[in-house]
Amino acid sequence: MVTGKKQGSRKRQDRRKSRESSRSQAIRKIEIAAGSTHLEKSGYLKSRLLEEAAMKVKPDIRLIAIDLDGTLLDQDRKISQENKAAIAAAKDQGVLPVLTTGRPYPGMVGYLEECQLMEEGDYCITYNGAMVQKTASQEILRKHTFTKEEIQSIADLLADLDLPMSAIGMDTIYESNPPQGKPSYYRDMQPLLPVVENVAVKDLEDIAKIVSARPQAEIERALAQIPQAYQDHFTIVRSRPNLVEILAKGVDKASGLNMLAQELQIKPSQMLAIGDMGNDASMLTYAGIGVAMGNAPEAIQEISDYVTKSNQDHGVAHAIQKFVLKWKQA
């Protein structure tokens, strides 16, 4: 057990400031016992201790942020009946499920319909937090896009890394000329979006994110070579093993949730976030309870409060039952 020596860490202090409810205060004590900061905690120990805390303290969850790929969706990109039933039950209990994804809106609207999250009062977060909108009316509450200078800067970076570039607009994928023999795989990941090829970088506008999809080894090599100046100026996340995404600085899933929290007057401590990859890390540490999927990489599990079952074993339903339905039905 880690003692109070680490209690002075700045990361934990920042986290404490965002936790104000009595439930979150109890969980903070468990976190300190488990090893203080999120980046230093053992995922297994945290899961065990948080489970012990949850048995004693009633969570006050008002919103559930749910990632799609690798989380709500199984390996065949399907939503299990168990997951759909848990989402519906949570909504019936007055808890707001919010699909929170890196996908553009057209690439996830079918899942909103399947989960019956297209009604008045429903929301979604897309483009890894760059856009927040109401699903029934499609009214946009937040939209963050690149400047032309930023687009050119990212294009230069990807060219230096020998990676193809896919610029994602509001409903279209724009591809500039890829390196010879290295086409982008992103169009295959989002088959519902139309693709415009050979677009000049200078003609790109209204772009929410820029991605590159290639074999995992190429992505890992490229990530290791990104200059610090770019990392300081942009948000760069790995949302799948073979996909790197670049967004404007300060744009991530946590920032999207923060905007929605202000809109709905919900505290971060009243949120449950469920995810599996690097682009989920910000919301897993922002929410009162961050849940990693059983199929998530170890680094993601270790920054989370609890590790649920895998996406093949209805891990979303398991987490909702444990932290929401169990208490609502009590």
pLDDT digits (tens, 9 = 90+) for 193-203: 999 999 999 99
Give the separation between CA 115 and CA 269, rounded to whole angstroms: 25
Long-range CB pairs of 15-21 (<8 Å, 24+ gap) are 15/285, 18/267, 18/268, 18/269, 18/286, 19/268, 19/269, 19/288, 20/267, 20/269, 21/60, 21/267, 21/269, 21/270, 21/288
CA-CA-CA-CA dihedral for 72, 77, 78, 84, to nearest 10 = 20
Structure tokens at 144: 């963050």
Q: Is 313 a catalytic residue?
A: no
pLDDT in tens, 25-78: 433 333 333 233 333 334 444 555 555 555 556 678 999 999 999 999 999 999
DSSP 3-state of 127: helix
CATH 3.30.1240.10 fits domain 148-248: yes
Q: Which of 60, 67, 206, 280 is catalytic?
A: 67
Q: In the chain, what are the domain boundaries? A: 63-140+253-328, 148-248
Of 3-7, 62-66, 135-139, 276-280, give the lowest mean pLDDT range: 3-7
- CA–CA distance from 9 to each of 6, 16, 49, 64 (Å)? 6, 11, 20, 28
Domain 63-140+253-328, CATH: 3.40.50.1000
Give the separation between CA 186 and CA 167, rounded to whole angstroms: 10
Kindly report the pTM of this predicted structure: 0.80
